[in-house]
Amino acid sequence: MSATTIQDCWNQIGVQGDKSCPELHRHIHCRNCPTFEQGAHALLNRTPPAGYIEEWTQFLARAKETEAGFTDTAFVFRIGPEWLALSARLCVEVVSMRPIRRVPHRSDRMLMGLASVRGELLLCFSLANLLGLEPASRLEPASRLEPSAESSAPAETSATAETSAAAETSAAAKAASKILPRLLVARKDRFAMAFPVDEVMGLHRFHRDNVRAIPATVAHAVPQFSRGMFTANGRKIGLLDDELVFHALTKVLA
């Protein structure tokens, strides 16, 4: 049925027109009228115009091609010697390290205990133990950073030397702040947890096509819980499978 045979009375004498339809008082609104329903079926069942199917076929084909190069965002961090990443949609925030209180008769290698984050008690898990990684040793205090040019060289009185020394000190402090141990808070399906990390790189966008398989020769359990690996800032990052990680960590609560 072509569109020319459809009588759009709803636009002429119905609610969209002058409201003079004698059936309007009975149906209250055109959408309740059988004529309106018949017109809707006629529009849906009409023969598509020439080229319509071909146009949509080409459009859907292009959509599939572009999907292959889809980019994703992950949150990158380090535990021990390994750089890892979780999907950014799961990572809620990163907070400073705080006391983790053991849970009597429950805490073990995986479940470290409870930590208070913004007034909420979160279960803290050891991602390092799950993946078979050795956490980094305790970091050096900031006062034991490499001496700046100001302390290792004779004192200079020029404003240029003072500015340069201040810039180096600021850069060193900024670099040190990035490698302070922190708690990464993640949430999946309304279940929130936290786990310690040794260093934070931050958010990184990557193409899914660039994710490669992790070599099976790696000794620790990272490949078992990973979707693959990608490169960020010259480092190889293990992209964790959030489904496997969350399942393994929460399994200890059963």
Convert the pLDDT of each residue in 60-94 to its tens digit. Answer: 887 555 555 568 999 999 998 899 999 999 999 99
pLDDT at 219: 57
Specify whether 168 is located in the same domain as 189.
no
CA dist 129 → 19, 66, 124, 250 (Å): 74, 39, 12, 14
Q: Note whether 226 and 214 are within 8 A (CB).
A: yes
Specify whether 134 is located in the same domain as 206.
yes
Here the tokens at position 210 are 């660039």
Specify whether 92 is located in the same domain as 204.
yes
Convert the pLDDT of each residue in 168-194 to its tens digit. Answer: 545 544 444 457 889 999 999 888 999
- What is the average per-residue pLDDT within 136-160? 39
* Boundary of a domain, candidates 20, 51, 67: 67
Specify whether 15 is located in the same domain as 107.
no
User: Which has the closest alpha carbon to 77: 222, 230, 204, 199?
Assistant: 199
User: Which has the closest alpha carbon to 195: 138, 143, 125, 122?
Assistant: 125
* Boundary of a domain, candidates 177, 193, 227: 177
Convert the pLDDT of each residue in 16-38 to its tens digit. Answer: 889 899 988 888 899 899 988 88
Q: What percent of the chain has pLDDT over 70?
A: 75
Specify whether 132 is located in the same domain as 197.
yes
Cut 0.75: pTM above it? no
* Boundary of a domain, candidates 67, 89, 120: 67
Domain count, the chain: 3
Q: Note whether 85 and 73 are within 8 A (CB).
A: no
Specify whether 9 is located in the same domain as 119.
no
Specify whether 42 is located in the same domain as 118.
no
**C-beta atoms surrounding 72 within 10 Å:** 16
User: Which has the closest alpha carbon to 135: 107, 109, 113?
Assistant: 109
Specify whether 54 is located in the same domain as 152.
no
Here the tokens at position 224 are 């078992």
CA dist 84 → 118, 172, 191, 200 (Å): 25, 24, 21, 10
Range of the domain at 17: 3-67
Specify whether 61 is located in the same domain as 100.
no
Specify whether 61 is located in the same domain as 85.
no
Specify whether 208 is located in the same domain as 90.
yes
Specify whether 99 is located in the same domain as 223.
yes
d(CA 178, CA 58): 48
Q: Note whether 237 and 229 are within 8 A (CB).
A: yes
- What is the average per-residue pLDDT within 35-49? 85
**Helices marked H in 17-73:** 24-27, 34-45, 52-67
